[in-house]
Amino acid sequence: MSGESLKPSPKETEGNVQGQELEKYLQRFNLGHSEVTPQHIKEKLTSGEITSEQAITILSELSDWLRKESRTDELTGLANRRGFDEGSREMLASLVPQETGERREGAPEAIIVALADLSLKEINDKWGHAVGDQALVQVAKAIQDSIRYGDLAARVGGDEFCILMPILVQEAETGNIEERLRNSLKNITLKVFDKEEEKTIPVKVALGLSSVNAEEMRVSPDLASAINQADQAMYRDKNEG
């Protein structure tokens, strides 16, 4: 698919080396991320246990970790609402044409918006919140397994997920994306115990898609209309069973 050609940023390609000094610091002093503070780092610098260069790097990596943590849903590992809002703004900016009116080099032609919703209340009421949490994790994993680098997946509500997928050729890719998502989400199951008997239960997920392109961005420079269309499609899918 042509969307696969979206290139990672330099920061992403360097991800294998980022955070190394912080991880070494955590291991050396037997700390968790939440236990590391600027004061602690200053004390280790003053005592000569780390160098000034190491301290600067550790502080920078800690800042990056805190930023990512504040934008990540703790249960599923996907972006949270804050992460979605920030990521979507960056993605939408790529649709805005240059001052000449021409499409930016390598910019997507459109962004696919997908909403996924599971019947979490039914699961919680019948099987308990622990099983409900398992369902959320499994749905998040299915979504993560079906998206590409450059896509944005977020848990934006208690049982609702939103996926943004930039595409280079709108008509050629939309059908493929929808098929891939539906295939990934339709066979999710959980093992539960009912009166000490193990059962396998399905996790039903409704899916709705829409899209926004550069021309539509000129009229309404946000995702509100596209999300509303995806929401309506999702509820049609839910009602159709």
What pLDDT was estimated at residue 125?
93
Our count of domains for the chain comes to: 2
CA distance 117 to 36: 37
pLDDT at 13 over 50: no
Mean pLDDT in residue range 203-214: 89
What pLDDT was estimated at residue 15?
42
- In terms of domains, do 115 and 221 share one? yes
pLDDT at 105 over 80: no
Q: Is 218 within 8 Å of 226 (Cβ atoms)?
A: no
CA distance 7 to 89: 19
- In terms of domains, do 116 and 60 share one? no
- In terms of domains, do 22 and 48 share one? yes
What pLDDT was estimated at residue 94?
75
Mean pLDDT in residue range 167-185: 79
String of b and e for 190-222 (b: at least 16 CB within 10 Å)?
A: bebeeeeeeeebebbbbbbbbbbebeebeeeee
pLDDT at 124 over 60: yes
pLDDT at 44 over 80: yes
Identify the domain containing residue 59 by its residue range.
Answer: 10-70
What pLDDT was estimated at residue 67?
83
Tens digits of per-residue pLDDT, 71-104? 999 999 999 999 999 999 888 887 765 565 566 6
Say what the pTM is.
0.77
**Chosen domain end from 70, 88, 108:** 70
What pLDDT was estimated at residue 9?
39
- In terms of domains, do 18 and 115 share one? no
What pLDDT was estimated at residue 63?
82
What pLDDT was estimated at residue 11?
39
What pLDDT was estimated at residue 194?
79
- In terms of domains, do 60 and 148 share one? no
CA distance 70 to 241: 36
- In terms of domains, do 32 and 137 share one? no
Confidence of residue 162 (pLDDT cuts 50, 70, 90): very high
CA distance 198 to 190: 10
Average pLDDT across the chain, whole number: 83
Mean pLDDT in residue range 38-42: 89
What pLDDT was estimated at residue 5?
33
What pLDDT was estimated at residue 96?
67
